[in-house]
Amino acid sequence: MKMKNFLRFMLVAAMLYTIAAGCSKRDGLTSPAVNTPVVSVTYTYTGTSTEVVTVNTSTPTDTATDIVVNTNTYTMTATEIVIGTLTDTATQTATRTATQTVTISPTVTVTSTITVTSTATETITATATITSTTTEIPTALATVIGGVAQVTPVLGTSARFAVLSFSDLTNIPSSSITGDVGISPGARSNIVGLLDGDGQVASGYAIYASDDLVPAGTAAMLTQAYDDAGAAYLDAVNASRGTPTSLVGNINGLTLAPGLYESGSSIEISAGGIVYLDGMGDSNAVFIIRSASTITTESTSQVVLTGNAQAQNVFWVAGSAITLGTNSVMKGTLIASTSISLLNMADLNGRAIIQSASAGQISLSQNIIVLP
């Protein structure tokens, strides 16, 4: 009995000791034993921060290209040429954008965009070089008095023809002819590059050849026209017209009054040259200009009518050939003995007539011919 009571006492004492020891260790925050587990907690934050992140930097470097200032080309077309100074103020605005990435360790990346706007104003002072498209007609030289007044040579039935050839007629299309075209005694097969209905001969006019059966009487009509052309030539060179005013060679720059002119050799108007025929206010004034051999106008030369002169009253008469240069301009009826050649794009306000059987051909090349 005593032994049993002793054992009970010892068991109670041991339990009280254990409880007292546990309470003592918790009050002192003693670390857990080695094998006690550690719990890790992850916290997730949501919402918008009102804090401002400020990045102080002296970069990025502005790498935008330089501003290109304005450059202009000035072109002026005017009747009157004025040379002066032009001032132009040009303003350009260039926007430059540079992007820099800044990394803040360990977890924040900030991207800043810097926009640089610069404005450059440039004042340009330019001296304009002006090219005028106006054709300037040089001041005429002193008038050459023609002397003996003239009457027009009689063309007869040849007057209806803008082009009248003898043996051959060749054309490089496309020409424009306002007036009849004829060849005699040459046949239609002797006409090259010019056909009825091809649009090169104006409406109301036609092409005639000596072997045409339609219209009836074509051959006889052409024979008469050819004879009348020969008679007009003889009329123009007839001595009864009086003593002509002499011309020698190149007549570029001359102003001729109405009358009779003649060269014992040839007549020429040099390239780009101008000859003035001054009617002196008389629309019936007659000009007869004769050459013992050739009459030649060079490229871009011009015959200019002034003082009410009319192309229908101007006659150029050659003992051999007449040639009109490229892009030249001629006024009046051409009567030649051997050939007439209108080079590329020469213009004729008049007629081209062959009056002789000596070769007797006419050649055209993209020309404009209008009956006066």
Tell me the pLDDT of the chain (372 aa) as tens digits.
Answer: 555 555 555 554 555 544 444 444 444 444 444 444 444 445 454 555 454 444 454 444 444 444 343 444 434 344 444 444 444 444 444 444 444 444 444 444 445 454 545 444 545 454 444 444 444 444 545 567 677 889 999 999 999 999 999 999 999 999 999 999 999 999 999 999 999 889 999 999 999 999 999 999 999 999 999 999 999 999 999 999 999 999 989 999 999 999 999 999 999 999 999 999 999 999 999 999 999 999 999 999 999 999 999 999 999 999 999 999 999 999 999 999 999 999 999 999 999 999 977 768 999 999 999 999
> Which are the contacts of 372, defined by CB distance < 8 A and separation ≥ 6?
310, 311, 312, 331, 332, 333, 349, 350, 351
- Give pTM, 2 decimals: 0.63
Residue 337 near residue 356, CB atoms below 8 Å: yes
Sort strands 321-324 and 295-297 into parallel, antiparallel or unpaired.
Answer: parallel
The SS3 assignment for 32 reads coil
Backbone angles phi, psi at 277, to 5 degrees: -110, 110
Cα within 13 Å of Cα(221), Cβ side: 19
DSSP character string of 266-285: -EEE-TT-EEEEE-TT-TT-
Q: For 191-195, which contacts have Cβ atoms below 8 Å and span 24 or more sequence positions? A: 192/168, 193/364, 194/169, 194/364
Residue linked to tokens 């924040």: 108
Helices (runs of H) and strands (runs of E) counted in the chain: 2, 25
Q: Which residues pair with 152 in a beta bridge?
A: none
